[in-house]
Amino acid sequence: TQLLEQSPQFLSIQEGENLTVYCNSSSVFSSLQWYRQEPGEGPVLLVTVVTGGEVKKLKRLTFQFGDARKDSSLHITAAQPGDTGLYLCAGSPNTGNQFYFGTGTSLTVIP
Amino acid sequence: GAVVSQHPSRVICKSGTSVKIECRSLDFQATTMFWYRQFPKQSLMLMATSNEGSKATYEQGVEKDKFLINHASLTLSTLTVTSAHPEDSSFYICSASWGQVTEAFFGQGTRLTVV
């Protein structure tokens, strides 16, 4: 059982389209992180959200933390082929010090 | 920024042998280290959480006698895959954190192939 469920699992879109990835849990998190991973490499941190309702922007990427701190979303505007990769949400639930990853969203942006 | 180094990056071993993977925090003291396993096109599955000087906490379904974790110092944790079999072939990644866990820093990963 995964503590963090992501949707969609796979996404293939044309260059220039917008997309949203969701990360949901029944647990409360003190903070959530979003990572992007390339094949054969470790995850690279994109952003950390810590406050319920918080919105952070990183160029064409917009991250939101749910009011109850149980969910988060990643929105990409005008996707580019360079955005292709595995996107992962992750965090440590309030109940412990483990650090769990979401189920992952594999994004392919077609030129 | 916090740097975590994982070694080796790739290893091929024969079935029945043991393999040790090292994870080092280079510029900070890691009070907590995490070990993950990842299959192709899938997410990272937490195997165990280790705190310096104490026994690792294993996730359900992970054999602690199969995957030995040692976190003897604040800068080094090791994962030993004992009596490796082909089904243990995978990508193993460590991460490290300090204090209350709010963010983790990752090693480069180790590709283990058991033949």
* pLDDT, tens only, A14-31: 999 999 999 999 999 988
Residue A66: closest CA among A51, A53, A48, A75: A53
Facing residues of A23 across strands? A6, A72
Candidates A29, A101, A107: best to mutate against B (most CBs of B within 10 A) is A101
A92: pLDDT confidence band, cut at 50, 70 and 90? confident
Per-residue pLDDT at B100: 66
Q: pLDDT tens digits, residue range B36-85?
A: 999 888 899 999 998 887 889 999 999 999 999 998 888 999 999 999 99
Q: Which residue has the tokens 């033949």?
A: B115
Contact between chains at A88 and B111 (C-beta distance less than 8 A): no
Distance between A98 CA and the closest CA of chain B, angstroms: 6
Q: pLDDT tens digits, residue range A52-71?
A: 999 999 999 999 999 999 99
Q: Which residue has the tokens 């490290």?
A: B96
Cis amide prior to B8 (ω within 30 degrees): yes
A:B CB pairs within 8 Å: 66
Amino acid present at B86: P
Q: Are B29 and B71 in contact (CB under 8 A)?
A: no
Tell me the chain A residues in contact with residue B42 when contact means C-beta distances shorter than 8 Å: 104
Mean pLDDT, all residues of chain B:
91
Contact between chains at B111 and A48 (C-beta distance less than 8 A): no
Give strand ranges (E) for chain A.
5-7, 10-14, 19-24, 29-37, 44-49, 55-58, 61-65, 71-76, 85-93, 100-101, 105-110
Helices (H), chain A: none
Out of A92, A98, A101, closest to residue B43 by CB? A101
- Quote the CA–CA distance of B100 and B31 in Å, as a whole number: 9
Contact between chains at A42 and B93 (C-beta distance less than 8 A): yes
Per-residue pLDDT at B79: 97
- Quote the CA–CA distance of B70 and B74 in Å, as a whole number: 11
Burial class (CB in 10 A: 0-12, 13-18, 19+), B68: middle
